[in-house]
Amino acid sequence: MPLLDETFGIGDLARLTGVPVRTIRFYCDEGIIDSVRSTGGHRRFDEAAVERLGLVRRLRGLGLGLPSIRHVLAGERSVAEVVAAERAALDVQLADLAWRRASLRAIEEAGPADRAARLELLAAVNGGCAARDALIDFWKRTMVAPVSEAMLAAFVTMAVPEPPTDPTPPQVVAYAELVALARDRSLRRGLLARSRANAELIADEDALLSGIAEACMLAEPMVRAGEPPRVGPELDQYVAAHASVRGSGDTPEFRRRLLGNVAADRDPRMRRYWRLVTEAGGAPVAHGASHLWLTDALERSITP
**CATH 1.10.1660.10 residue spans of the chain:** 4-77
Work out the pLDDT band at 200, boundaries 50, 70, 90: confident
Distance CA 282, CA 284 (A): 7
Angle between helices 128-142 and 149-159 (to 10 degrees): 130
Question: Looking at residue 41, what is its pLDDT?
Answer: 78
The pLDDT value recorded for residue 1 is 43
Q: At what angle do helices 287-302 and 205-225 cross, to 10 degrees?
A: 90
Distance CA 294, CA 233 (A): 11
Split at pLDDT 50, 70, 90, the class of 197 is confident
Q: With residue 230 as reference, give the H or E element that holds it.
A: none
Selection from 34-43, 52-61, 143-152, 251-260 with the highest mean pLDDT: 251-260
Query: Of 174, 147, 150, which Cα lies nearest the Cα of 160?
Result: 174
Which stretches within 74-127 are classed as H helix?
Answer: 79-109, 112-123
Residue 2 has pLDDT above 70, yes or no: no
What CATH architecture does domain 4-77 belong to? Orthogonal Bundle (1.10)
Share of the chain above pLDDT 90, in %: 65
DSSP tally for the chain: helices H, then strands E: 15, 3
pLDDT surpassing 90 at residue 276: yes
Non-local CB neighbours of 273 within 8 Å, separated by 6+ positions: 178, 181, 288
Q: Return d(Cα 243, Cα 258) in angstroms, integer.
A: 9
Nearest alpha carbon to residue 166 among 83, 105, 89, 84? 105
Position 34 scores a pLDDT of: 86
Confidence of residue 285 (pLDDT cuts 50, 70, 90): confident
Mean pLDDT along residues 76-92: 92
Question: Mean per-residue pLDDT for 165-171?
Answer: 93
pLDDT given at position 4: 47
Lowest mean pLDDT, pick from 7-16, 106-115, 245-254, 286-295 = 7-16
pLDDT score at 5: 57
User: Rounded mean pLDDT of the chain?
Assistant: 90
